[in-house]
Amino acid sequence: MTAAHPLLVTGGSGQVGGAVAALASRNGVAVVAPDRAECDLTDPAALRAFVGRGPWRAIVNCAAYTAVDRAESEAGLAHAINAEAPGILAELAAARDIPIVHVSTDYVFDGTKDAPYLESDPIAPLGVYGSTKAAGEAAVRQAAPGSHAIVRTAWVLSAGGANFLNTMLRLGEERDLVRVVADQHGSPTNAADLAEVLLAIVDRDAATGETWHAVNGGDASWYDLARHIFDRSAAAGRKTSRLEPITTQDYPTPAQRPANSRLATEKLRAGLGLTLRPWRDAVDAILDERLNSGEHR
């Protein structure tokens, strides 16, 4: 395949897929980024037909079922999108001799490790979402053993869509008190920074069967992140709420979440020379866009 062929970016209406498509376009790279209506990952025949429209330079699979709690009651749907579809995409990519870059998650781990997770650490997902994402990783490895890259990330944020940052901005205006979990830790990650990693792997022909971790630098609790968002919002003259730290036990959810979502990125730095900026800088870039846009929601 030549660079003239477009990238196929699944999940084009999501945070990561949208960021990949936007960055590729800015860089002059042809890209096709269908949304769910255009490319239904729950319909294998439709998925095969869409990919058959190629040729493609590469497939970047950013599509996922990410409703962590709802997945507990919609396991079949989550499995279709997170496990079966990636395997089909990898099979189709391998048949066409093109690479596939597949986005995965910290939820493949159980969060009990006392240090950031390495790519080589054993996985042990806690719930349906993590289990289906782990199955998707396995399907990609099996179908395209030497022409895939799996990129695990965590706590993805962007200026648009449903995510923690936008929820905090909304709740800060709507409520007098917001209670946020302070005993789960991870690395807030700007979708645009993750997009740079995914495209770099394509550009460097680095989809050679490796798994990588890609998150912004440093770590925080959800409370730390909320505190940063509220402080920046207040400095910009926006209304914010009083913020109270709570424990995971204080906020029960259908799905169990890993207490430690920290991902080690030394492999990414050593292997590809890529280092993502600190999370506060990455979050500030999103907040600058939101707080200066005049939008309150």
26: exposed, middle or buried (Cβ count in 10 Å: 0-12, 13-18, 19+): exposed
Residue 220 bridge partners (DSSP): 186
Residue 189 bridge partners (DSSP): 156
From 65, 107, 117, 129, active-site residue: 129
- Token readout for 185 is 């830790």
The answer to whether 223 is a known catalytic residue is no
Enzyme catalytic residues = 129
